[in-house]
Amino acid sequence: GDSVTQMEGPVTLSEEAFLTINCTYTATGYPSLFWYVQYPGEGLQLLLKATKADDKGSNKGFEATYRKETTSFHLEKGSVQVSDSAVYFCALSSNTGNQFYFGTGTSLTVIP
Amino acid sequence: EADIYQTPRYLVIGTGKKITLECSQTMGHDKMYWYQQDPGMELHLIHYSYGVNSTEKGDLSSESTVSRIRTEHFPLTLESARPSHTSQYLCASAGEEETQYFGPGTRLLVL
């Protein structure tokens, strides 16, 4: 069945460091891919998404490219800030749109 | 920006009490979901609905029940709360574009 495998955390970075959080997926057909962010005490917020191969989603300096050949959707940011400290979830929506699969979440802490 | 609301945000209750967690959305989405979130962050789907009068159990067995009498409303009920129900509960909705939009969550503590 469809699934998402996400890099385990926690991840601790210094401010202005480069961030990569790895995400790979298993799916039949052509799923849509998402990154969500969860700040302490809140629900999940959509960060970015991509709906087809080679699409790049971007928002707030974060980027992820839908790579069908490597079944990956890695999240990157060139220069992290303390305010980026949160938990990040990779997710997949199946072909039919009726099934949604989340990764286990990666906790990021950015220190000044 | 999605408009999805959950009440209460925090609830402390004694064992054996009946509770209902409310979830409402104003986007006209057909699909709605309830997730239980571990302290370790992982999300577990416990119930979902694809429209009025449609409800299904999710991947994680749960003693809770749900109803979907109106498109915008998807309440979750625990008939008899136990300490093992202590968790964070997240509600989400999705339209035809598949993206799920989440409410702020309800943090439940059962003593």
Tokens of A61: 């300096």
Compute the radius of gyration of chain B from its Cα atoms: 13
Is B100 close to A100, i.e. CB distance below 8 A? yes
Nearest partner of A43 among B94, B4, B30, B108, judged by Cα: B4
Is A34 close to B96, i.e. CB distance below 8 A? no
- Answer for the pair A62, A20: CB distance below 8 angstroms, yes or no: no
Quickly state the pLDDT bin for A6 (edges 50, 70, 90).
very high
pLDDT tens string B20-71: 999 999 999 999 999 999 877 889 999 999 999 999 998 887 789 999 999 9
Strand A11-14 to strand A106-111: parallel, antiparallel, or no bridges (unpaired)?
Answer: parallel
- Taking one residue from A and the other from B, the number of pairs with CB-CB distance under 8 angstroms is 49
Chain B contacts of A105, Cβ < 8 Å?
41-43
pLDDT tens string A20-78: 999 999 998 889 999 999 998 889 999 999 999 999 999 999 999 999 999 999 999 99
3-state secondary structure A24-78: EEECCCCCEEEEEEECCCCCEEEEEEECCCCCEEEECCEEEECECCCCECCEEEC
Question: What's the confidence (pLDDT) of residue A14?
Answer: 97
Q: Which amino acid is at B20?
A: T
A29 sits in the region (left: phi over 0; alpha: psi -120 to 50; else beta) called left
Chain B contacts of A101, Cβ < 8 Å?
none
Instruction: Quote helix, strand, coil % in chain B, to nearest 5.
Output: 5, 50, 45
Question: What's the confidence (pLDDT) of residue B28?
Answer: 93
Question: What's the confidence (pLDDT) of residue B1?
Answer: 55
Name the interface residues of B facing A (CB cutoff 8 Å): 6, 31, 33, 41-43, 45, 50, 90, 92, 94, 96, 98-105, 107
Question: What's the confidence (pLDDT) of residue B78?
Answer: 93
Nearest partner of B50 among B104, B103, B96, B89, judged by Cα: B96
How close B6 comes to chain A (CA, Å)? 10
pLDDT at position A97 over 70: no
A6 touches chain B (CB under 8 A): no
With pLDDT > 70 as the criterion, what percentage of chain A qualifies? Answer: 97
Chain A contacts of B104, Cβ < 8 Å?
42-43
Question: What's the confidence (pLDDT) of residue B2?
Answer: 58
- Among A42, A46, A104, beta carbon nearest to B41: A104
